[in-house]
Amino acid sequence: MFSNSTKYALKAVLYLAVHSNEDQKIMAKDISAPINVPKAYIAKLLQELSRKGLISSVRGPKGGFYLSAQNKEHTLIEIIEAIGDTDHMRSCWLSLEGCDENRPCPLHAVLASSKSKILQQLERKSINETAEEVKAGISFLPL
C-alpha cells in the first residue's frame, strides 16, 4: 500500500518523535540503523521533510533533525503527501486507468470503502498521537 519512501519517512519521523526534541537532535546516520534504512536514502527523505516544514533541522556540530511540538501536530497523511505517495494510495489498486465510481475495476467495490477509511484515519492521526502510542507500548516500532 505504501511505497518504500513513504514507509521509510514514516518510520524516521516516528523515531524522531519518540527520541528527539529541541535540545536533543539526531543525525540522519544515527537514525538509519534503528529503522533499517540506508543512510543516504534516509538523509534525502529527512532533508525533504525539513524543507517542507514537517520536521526541524539544525546544521553544525550540534545539529541534526528533531521534531518540535509544532512538528508533532502534523498528521500522518501530511508525511505521505510530502513524499508524494497519496496519488498511489488514491489510485486503482489494479493500476487501471479510468477506474472510478462510474467505471469500477473488479476490486473497486471491495477496496473503495476500506481505502477511504484508511485515508480518513491518516488525515486525523497526528505524529504526536502515534508517537505516544509507541511510547506507551500500544504499538510497536523498532527503536
Confidence of residue 100 (pLDDT cuts 50, 70, 90): confident
Confidence of residue 58 (pLDDT cuts 50, 70, 90): very high
Contact 44, 5 (CB under 8 A): no
Ranked by mean pLDDT, the top range of 2-6, 84-88, 118-122 is 118-122
Give me the pLDDT at residue 84, please. 82
Query: Where exactly are the structural domains of the chain?
Result: 4-135
- Long-range contacts: 100-104, Cβ < 8 Å, 24+? none
Q: In whole angstroms, what is the distance from residue 48 CA to residue 102 CA? A: 37
pLDDT, the chain, mean: 91
Give me the pLDDT at residue 89, please. 72
Q: Say which CATH topology domain 4-135 has.
A: Arc Repressor Mutant, subunit A (1.10.10)
Give me the pLDDT at residue 15, please. 96
Give me the pLDDT at residue 143, please. 65
Q: In whole angstroms, what is the distance from residue 86 CA to residue 79 CA? A: 10
- pLDDT value at 112 more than 70: yes
- pLDDT value at 1 more than 80: no
